[in-house]
Chains A and B, each alone.
Chain A
Amino acid sequence: DAGVIQSPRHEVTEMGQEVTLRCKPISGHNSLFWYRQTMMRGLELLIYFNNNVPIDDSGMPEDRFSAKMPNASFSTLKIQPSEPRDSAVYFCASSSEWTGSGNTEAFFGQGTRLTVV
């Protein structure tokens, strides 16, 4: 398996523009997580899905952020309009539910480094 795939790896955009980050989870995983990491705030959980349904979006900073998971193999995180304070590394991770084998850890993608100027 290729692991969790995120695109783009780097994104530089101007303030006010729309930004869309993409994630392809590991096949067979039923949970997907979006995290944001900054020096100031560390690793923050923004939202997570289970079986394509958003379960907890309490970490989404404000209405400018939205996330979708239209099917089991694709998710997007959108920021509209973007602001300089959104600059961060955004990670997507996926995991599977307990089946007795102990394999419930999260697998992370390489991240998208977003810079809003």
Chain B
Amino acid sequence: AQSVSQHNHHVILSEAASLELGCNYSYGGTVNLFWYVQYPGQHLQLLLKYFSGDPLVKGIKGFEAEFIKSKFSFNLRKPSVQWSDTAEYFCAVNDRYSSASKIIFGSGTRLSIRP
């Protein structure tokens, strides 16, 4: 069965620190990969996505993620976080070629930034 694991439940950093959030998925087929962000009191919004090409994907607000197929990983990174990055981050995956594929979300990582 498809699954997504986010091992960090809560990460606390100071401003300007570097960030890396882990994401591993379990699926045997071809997948699309996503990172979503949910700011406090808001809905989930897409940060970035990977479906083909360069495995290093750049998203909004200085975020990037690297797809490592051999490790089934899609970790999210940012070189220098800001207080405004305080949010919950969700990794997600779906089957690329299935017309009826559901999007599987990880359990989320809460990121708290100390000013």
Question: Chain B 85-115 against A: per-residue CB contact (8 Å), 1 yes, 0 no?
Answer: 0000010101011111111010110000000
Q: Are A105 and B43 within 8 A (Cβ)?
A: no
Q: Are B107 and A45 within 8 A (Cβ)?
A: no
- Within the complex, the shortest CB–CB distance from B29 to chain A, in Å, comes to 12
- Within the complex, the shortest CB–CB distance from B72 to chain A, in Å, comes to 19
Q: Is the interface of B mostly helix, strand, loop or mixed?
A: loop
Q: Are B105 and A55 within 8 A (Cβ)?
A: no
Q: In the assembled complex, which residues on chain B have CB atoms less than 8 Å from the CB atom of A111?
A: 43
Most chain B CB inside 10 Å of its own CB: which residue of A95, A105, A111: A105
Total B residues in contact with A, Cβ cutoff 8 Å: 24
Q: In the assembled complex, which residues on chain B have CB atoms less than 8 Å from the CB atom of A45?
A: 102, 105
- Interface residues of chain B, those whose CB is within 8 Å of chain A, are 32, 34, 42-46, 49, 51-52, 90, 92, 94, 96-103, 105, 107-108
- Interface residues of chain A, those whose CB is within 8 Å of chain B, are 30-31, 33, 42-43, 45, 48, 50-51, 55-56, 91, 93, 95, 97-98, 102, 104-111
